[in-house]
Amino acid sequence: MLSCEHGGNRIPAEYRHLFHGAAHAVSSHRGWDPGALDLARYLGRHFHIPVAEETLCRLLVEPNRAPSNPRIWSKYSAGLAPAEKQRVLDRYWWPHRRKVESRVKEQVARGNGVFHVAVHSFVPVLGGERRNAEICLLYDPTRPGEKTMCLHWAAILRELAPDVRVRRNYPYRGIADGLPTWLRRRYPNRKYGGVELEVNQSVLTAGTRKRTWKLIAESLDALLGGRSART
């Protein structure tokens, strides 16, 4: 199963007043994950499966955080009244979450296990620190299925492209608040495995993106036994 939580920086008209003078923030990595949705759609076409897409700007409400996490709101939306925040959640946050959950639930009900890849991208430099990786796999190391899959996936990527730096649980922790973490609490290891695929935006630019797309698709093919997954 494929999802993309930060695929765009769309702000509904009724909340645009909150972002007056914030055009740079909205268009930057703070507002979305450049390149992530294109990659997710490519993988969706390759494997013939739909992508659960979210194109809402995360500076309004963060699709990859739980409602109980204060960081679900940015400095631009944190001042909304409680009733208005609930309205934002009901109208703009919950639909994506429920879409992904319903797909997992449907497959589990059929007796299938779900391998969920949530596609993201990250900036090459943050806070003056250069991130020394191109492809990263975030997972919960206490869940044997996820750990085994990611160890194998990383090995395949390194074999296919020795020049590409692959790291696990970097530049973020796989157990941090996110959609896969949310789903792990609802489904056991044997039924659900969630991986956040984080790709350096430097290799999602025009000159290298197709190579990156093909590398990730080919590595997933090998990981899944050389066949396209269909759910």
pLDDT in tens, 162-177: 999 999 999 999 999 9
Quickly count: other Cβ atoms within 10 Å of residue 162's Cβ.
9
- Give the Cα separation of 194 and 182 in Å (integer): 10
Question: How high is the pLDDT of residue 230?
Answer: 41
- Residue 228 in this model has a pLDDT that exceeds 90: no
- Letter string b/e over residues 1-34, b meaning 16 or more CB atoms within 10 A of that residue's CB: bbbbbbbbbebeeebeebbeebeebbeebebbbb
Average pLDDT, the chain: 96
- Residue 83 in this model has a pLDDT that exceeds 80: yes
- Residue 231 in this model has a pLDDT that exceeds 50: no
Q: What number is the average pLDDT over the span 67-83?
A: 98
Which residue ranges form the domains of the chain, and what is each CATH number?
2-223 (3.40.630.40)
